């Protein structure tokens, strides 16, 4: 049996006093790809931000154990260095900081945490070039300011490049498919597939089934009103695409 | 009892009355030296400036132009005449620009230092020197010196009434000089000085100018510089002005620029030092299709104040003006920006944009920003805006989520905010030096 990477039990959380998560449970094992689907406002993105430690959300109950460690005790940067990576739905622009400098600072922060020597610009260039090749990205990406003036697709690919460099144990992709045309979606999905490793896990947060045509999940969860209502195999995503979310919500109401 | 003395606003007024402030100004004026005989042609202008200053007083915060910039601290400091320090290359080595090895003028406490300057091997038609010597080679300087609008402003007039030498840069018609011209003003002691510079870029010429104020002393000196720049038709001037005075110093400077038609003026002004610093930057477009770009960065900490007052006066059709002024304010420091843009009726089909961006890094930091557009033309594009913000939580979080500690993330974001301005400087060695300074200041 594979190692459990992430275990979430009875998690409740709020923002500005409004409850968003109401008893959330999830377990992810090494090598697995999970997808959380759900209608807008179900709490999917909130959950991803809580995993990464966004200060706007307050956890009011339950626990999150990441590789045997209480994740809620860690600062966001410590979570990242421990192997949690969140690809943002809306990556921020940082004019004035070149992408390559940003990537190197980030990469070296992780190396330092692991007790490794930091890489100088020259050695880092070798590492980043190999990732660019793997992801079929244009090296000109590196010299631009972080996300400034990037198209939607470029921003998402830049998130994946960061993920490729940091090699997280748990990669969380928050609506990585939103706003992408089909070609850009295929590129992003193939990059995610290229990064898959048996010891790592991926959590995909999405509103649309479309992405799951290109990244095959092991487990699909349906989330609504701050909880997971139903879990199943990849066929569940197709069922949702065909029937919408209502039948899950309705069957839950009947069962309750 | 006058209203003035019933107000118990001691912080604003100090203990000064108008009489005290007038007496203090006269005291400053009395420190001036005789005009050298070479510059005798300046006597009339000098006398006129003298009479302007003689009847006035150091402004109080009651005057609209000085509302946020309180000069009462200056009144506590007394200056005396003293001989300029004898300094050599070792003291100024760190300020020299390798790009300007043969195009550098150095002034020490306001006095020209020929031994530290280097103006050999300049191309024909390019004059770089001190005013007293330059007047022989370029008698037409009297057609430009002290003739900008705005010369009645109190500190500008004080400079005009007091300066006895200065820098002259003249690039003749269609000449382009590749090396940047470095005007380095070094302060070494607690003195008052009035640096003066005149730059004449004739029709079709092109020049890069670095004007820099640095300090070898930590004391409370007062630098009151005036730089005048004249651009002929289709001329191009790239100007970097760097104020790195002592953090105890007073710096009240003026840059006045006139642009003939089709000319292009690009200014990056960086203000890092000074207990109290103020930069008046005034650009007058006098012909069609002139282009003005102003970029400013002020970084203040402690209880220091940094002030930029700018004016861009468009006057003819097809002019463009683009201004971005940034401030970074920490501790109990105070930044001020007042930016006027005039677009009169004649200036049709012009395009003017102004942005004031301010980053407050502590709860007691303060900024007063006042973009001021006056538009009477009806077929123009004008935009302006002002933002005052702290670092966004979301930005800090984004960096943290990539393994960067919160404190380091804030520094990186502050640095990034500043570096956008620094990156515009075309002289590589200066850009690198300022990048290092900003890195240290945001650390």
Is B416 close to A109, i.e. CB distance below 8 A?
Answer: no
Q: How many CB atoms lie within 10 A of CB B176?
A: 14
**Residue that is last in its domain, among B239, B265, B287:** B287
ipTM for the complex?
0.93
Would B327 be classed as within a structural domain? no
Each residue's pLDDT tens digit, B97-147 = 999 999 999 999 999 999 999 998 899 899 999 999 999 999 899 999 999
**Residue that is last in its domain, among B263, B287, B311:** B287
Specify the pLDDT at position A49: 95
Position B397 confidence tier, pLDDT thresholds 50, 70, 90 = very high
Beta strand ranges found along chain A (DSSP E):
4-15, 18-29, 33-37, 58-66, 69-70, 84-87, 94-98, 145-146, 170-174, 201-206, 219-224, 227-232
DSSP A211-238: GGGTS--SEEEEEETTEEEEEE-THHHH
Would B312 be classed as within a structural domain? no
Is A105 close to B412, i.e. CB distance below 8 A?
Answer: yes
More confident residue, B120 or B327: B327
> Within this chain, do residues B282 and B398 fall inside the same structural domain, yes or no?
no
Each residue's pLDDT tens digit, B409-432 = 999 999 999 998 999 999 999 999
Specify the pLDDT at position B50: 97
A-B contacts (CB, under 8 Å): 75
Lowest mean pLDDT among A182-191, B180-189, B240-249: A182-191
Would B441 be classed as within a structural domain? yes
Q: CB-CB: which of B400, B408, B416 is closest to A76? A: B400
Q: Is the pLDDT reported for residue A173 higher than 50? A: yes
DSSP B191-239: -EE--EEEEEE-TT-EEEEEEEEEES--S--EE--EEEEEE-TT-EEEE
Specify the pLDDT at position B1: 30
Specify the pLDDT at position A252: 67
> Within this chain, do residues B283 and B399 fall inside the same structural domain, yes or no?
no
Residue (of A85, A119, A86, A83) closest to A104 by Cα position: A119
Position B4 confidence tier, pLDDT thresholds 50, 70, 90 = very low
Q: How many CB atoms lie within 10 A of CB A244?
A: 11
Q: Is the pLDDT reported for residue B10 higher than 70? A: no
Specify the pLDDT at position A92: 92
Q: CB-CB: which of A76, A96, A113 is closest to B417? A: A96
Q: How far is A69 from chain B (nearest CA, A)?
A: 17
Position A245 confidence tier, pLDDT thresholds 50, 70, 90 = confident
Q: How far is CA A178 from CA A48, A181, A212, in A?
A: 15, 9, 13
Q: Is the pLDDT reported for residue B9 higher than 60? A: no
> Within this chain, do residues B263 and B412 fall inside the same structural domain, yes or no?
no
Specify the pLDDT at position B194: 96
Residue (of B126, B230, B114, B107) closest to B178 by Cα position: B126
Q: Is the pLDDT reported for residue B2 higher than 70? A: no
Instruction: State how many domains chain B has.
Output: 2
Residues of chain B with Cβ-Cβ distance to A95 below 8 Å are 416, 420
Would B337 be classed as within a structural domain? no
Which fold would CATH assign to domain A4-255? Rossmann fold (3.40.50)
State the residue range of the domain holding B187.
Answer: 14-287
Residues of chain B with Cβ-Cβ distance to A77 below 8 Å are 400-406, 409
- CA B226/CA B91 separation, integer angstroms: 25
Specify the pLDDT at position A2: 61
Q: How far is A109 from chain B (nearest CA, A)?
A: 6
Six-digit token string for B144: 């430009």
> Within this chain, do residues B280 and B396 fall inside the same structural domain, yes or no?
no
Would B322 be classed as within a structural domain? no
User: A222: which residues sit within 8 A by CB, 6+ positions away?
Assistant: A37, A38, A228, A229, A230, A231, A236, A240, A245, A248
Specify the pLDDT at position A20: 94
Q: CB-CB: which of B394, B403, B416 is closest to A97? A: B416
Position B443 confidence tier, pLDDT thresholds 50, 70, 90 = low
- Give me the percent of chain B exceeding a pLDDT of 70: 96
Q: How far is A131 from chain B (nearest CA, A)?
A: 17
Order of all β-strands in the sheet with A58-66: A18-29, A4-15, A58-66, A69-70
Q: Are B128 and B181 in contact (CB under 8 A)?
A: yes
Q: Where are the domains of chain A?
A: 4-255
Is A77 close to B393, i.e. CB distance below 8 A?
Answer: no
Would B103 be classed as within a structural domain? yes
Position B12 confidence tier, pLDDT thresholds 50, 70, 90 = very low
Specify the pLDDT at position A95: 85
Each residue's pLDDT tens digit, B287-302 = 999 999 999 999 999 9
Would B310 be classed as within a structural domain? no
- CA A36/CA A30 separation, integer angstroms: 17
Is A102 close to B402, i.e. CB distance below 8 A?
Answer: yes
**Residue that is last in its domain, among B287, B311, B333:** B287
Q: Is the pLDDT reported for residue A256 higher than 70? A: no
Would B134 be classed as within a structural domain? yes
Specify the pLDDT at position B94: 94
Each residue's pLDDT tens digit, B140-166 = 999 999 999 999 999 999 999 999 999
Residues of chain B with Cβ-Cβ distance to A169 below 8 Å are none
């Amino acid at each position: 049996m594979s190692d459990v990477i992430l275990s979430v039990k009875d998690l409740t959380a709020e923002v500005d006093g409004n409850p968003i998560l109401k008893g959330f449970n999830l377990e992810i094992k090494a090598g697995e790809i999970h997808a959380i689907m759900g209608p807008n406002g179900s709490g999917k993105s909130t959950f991803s931000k809580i995993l990464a430690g966004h200060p706007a959300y307050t956890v009011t109950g339950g626990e999150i154990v990441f590789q045997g460690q209480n994740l809620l005790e860690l600062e966001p940067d410590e979570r990242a260095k421990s192997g949690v990576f969140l690809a943002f739905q809306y990556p921020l622009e940082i004019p004035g900081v070149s992408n390559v400098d940003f990537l190197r600072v980030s990469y070296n922060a992780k190396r330092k945490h692991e007790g490794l020597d930091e890489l100088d610009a020259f050695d880092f260039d070798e590492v980043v070039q190999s990732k660019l090749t793997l992801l079929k990205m244009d090296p000109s990406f590196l010299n631009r300011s972080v996300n400034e003036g990037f198209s939607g697709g470029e921003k998402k690919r830049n998130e994946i490049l960061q993920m490729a460099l940091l090699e997280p144990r748990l990669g969380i992709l928050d609506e990585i498919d939103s706003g992408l045309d089909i070609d850009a979606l295929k590129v992003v999905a193939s990059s995610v597939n290229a990064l898959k490793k048996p010891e790592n896990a991926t959590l995909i947060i999405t509103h649309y089934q479309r992405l799951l045509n290109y990244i095959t999940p092991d487990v699909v969860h349906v989330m609504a009103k701050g909880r997971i209502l139903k879990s199943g195999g990849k066929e569940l995503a197709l069922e949702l695409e065909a029937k919408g979310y209502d039948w899950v919500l309705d069957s839950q109401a009947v069962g309750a | 009892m006058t209203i003035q003395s019933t107000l118990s606003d001691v912080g604003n007024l100090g203990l000064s009355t108008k009489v005290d402030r007038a007496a203090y100004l006269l005291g400053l004026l009395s420190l001036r030296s005789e005009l050298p005989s070479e510059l005798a042609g300046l006597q009339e202008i000098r006398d006129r400036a003298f009479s302007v200053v003689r009847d006035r007083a150091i402004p109080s915060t009651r005057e609209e132009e000085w509302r946020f910039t309180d000069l009462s601290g200056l009144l506590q400091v007394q200056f005396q005449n003293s001989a300029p320090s004898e300094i050599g290359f070792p003291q100024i080595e760190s300020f020299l620009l390798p790009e300007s090895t043969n195009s550098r003028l150095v002034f020490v406490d306001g006095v020209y230092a020929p031994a530290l300057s280097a103006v050999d091997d300049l191309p024909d038609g390019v004059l770089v020197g001190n005013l007293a010597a330059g007047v022989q080679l370029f008698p037409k300087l009297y057609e430009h010196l002290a003739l900008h609008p705005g010369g009645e402003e109190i500190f500008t007039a004080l400079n005009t009434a007091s300066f006895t030498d200065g820098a002259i840069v003249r690039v003749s018609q269609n000449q382009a000089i590749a090396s940047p011209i470095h005007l380095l003003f070094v302060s070494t002691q607690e003195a008052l000085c009035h640096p003066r510079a005149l730059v004449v870029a004739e029709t079709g010429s092109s020049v890069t100018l670095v004007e820099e104020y640095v300090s070898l002393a930590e004391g409370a000196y007062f630098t009151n510089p005036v730089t005048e720049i004249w651009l002929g038709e289709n001329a191009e001037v790239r100007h970097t002005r760097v104020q790195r005075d002592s953090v105890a110093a007073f710096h009240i400077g003026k840059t006045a620029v006139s642009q003939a038609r089709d000319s292009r003026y690009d200014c990056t002004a960086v203000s890092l030092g000074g207990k109290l610093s103020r930069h008046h930057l005034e650009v007058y477009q006098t012909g069609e299709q002139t282009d003005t770009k102003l970029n400013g960065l002020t970084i203040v900490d402690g209880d220091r104040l940094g002030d930029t007052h700018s004016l861009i006066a468009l006057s003819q059709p097809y002019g463009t003006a683009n201004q971005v002024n940034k401030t970074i304010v920490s501790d109990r420091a105070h930044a001020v920006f007042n930016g006027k843009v005039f677009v009169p009726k004649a200036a049709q089909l012009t395009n003017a944009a102004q942005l004031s961006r301010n980053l407050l890094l502590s709860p007691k930091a303060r900024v007063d920003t006042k973009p001021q557009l006056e538009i009477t033309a009806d077929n123009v594009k004008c935009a302006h805006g002002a933002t005052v913000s702290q670092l966004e939580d979301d930005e800090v979080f984004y960096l943290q989520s990539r393994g960067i500690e919160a404190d380091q993330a804030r520094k990186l974001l502050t640095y990034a905010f500043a570096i956008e301005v620094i990156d515009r400087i075309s002289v590589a060695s200066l850009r690198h030096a300022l990048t290092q300074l900003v890195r240290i200041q945001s650390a």
